[in-house]
Amino acid sequence: MVLCDVTKLIMNSFVTWSQRQNALNMKPLKDKIALITGGASGIGKIMVRLLLERNVHVVIWDIDQQKINETIAEFSNKGAIKGYIVDISDVVQIQNTAKKVKEEIGIIDILINNAGTVVGKYFHEHTIDNIQKTMEINANAPMIITNEFLADMMQRNSGHICNIASSGGLVSNPKMAVYAASKWSVIGWSDSFRLEMRQLKKNIHVTTVMPYYINTGMFDGVQSKIPILEPEKVALTIIKAIEKNKKMITIPGYIYRLTRTAQGLLPLKAFDWVAGSLFGIYKTMEHFTGHKK
């Protein structure tokens, strides 16, 4: 009993110390300007609300004008919010809209590259348009958008870029070949970019986020042994990661450690059995329907 009590006391002390350290490391977001792509629906919309509650000025980029209007109407009483309609698969639209934002709003402090798309098909069933659109939106757009706002951040030596990738960028999965390719791309670029900012001694933080399936409608029909994530918790985890200047997170947290350890230790055949048979990951997309139009 005494040993148990001592162990519990040590653990509680460690947790309290960790909480204090996290509190010390938290950066205030108040009065910052944040831009969220895909900010009028899903976790993007929830992050808009969470940032407004932290007194952040929020700029939404989205392809759906009606949803932008609805989001602004819903949250306008919470703080400063403005929306721009933009198709981020179009480089010219990105450039023109970025210019408008800088003229009308000012320098962006926090950029959250959140918008994404998925086509749940076997690779041979994809059209050329499917492939190009997925790569343009998921892989190319975060780089191009970041490039539009990075010069100002570097000149001011301050900023934060958060890139929403996917656990699909860690583990291969049938019916996700193109989506996985796009998210692997984001992870590789995002973390390399983080290292570049550190090497250049720039006070620009980069956070790479790799969530599992999220219950937003984007992955409707997915069946998983691993629990599908709730949007509110995911959005809050991402905002807290920005506040704490986290470099890389998976949601849930064990995904990265589990996959990387298993991939490093197991032969491919054994890993396929663990991922495919034990966790059922390779069958999750069998009944995928996605957003219902």
Residues with catalytic roles: 179
> Which residues fall within 8 angstroms of residue 54, CB to CB, at 6 or more apart?
29, 30, 239
Please state, in angstroms and rounded to a whole number, the distance separating the CA atoms of residues 82 and 217: 25
Q: CB-based burial of residue 112 (10 Å sphere; 0-12 exposed, 13-18 middle, 19+ buried)?
A: buried
Contact indicator for 102, 145 with CB cutoff of 8 Å: no
Contact indicator for 36, 48 with CB cutoff of 8 Å: yes
Q: CB-based burial of residue 127 (10 Å sphere; 0-12 exposed, 13-18 middle, 19+ buried)?
A: exposed
Residue 50 in tokens: 């969470």
The upper half-sphere exposure of residue 5, i.e. CA atoms within 13 Å in the direction of its Cβ, equals 2
For residue 141, which phi and psi values (nearest 5 degrees)? Answer: -60, -45
Please state, in angstroms and rounded to a whole number, the distance separating the CA atoms of residues 93 and 206: 24
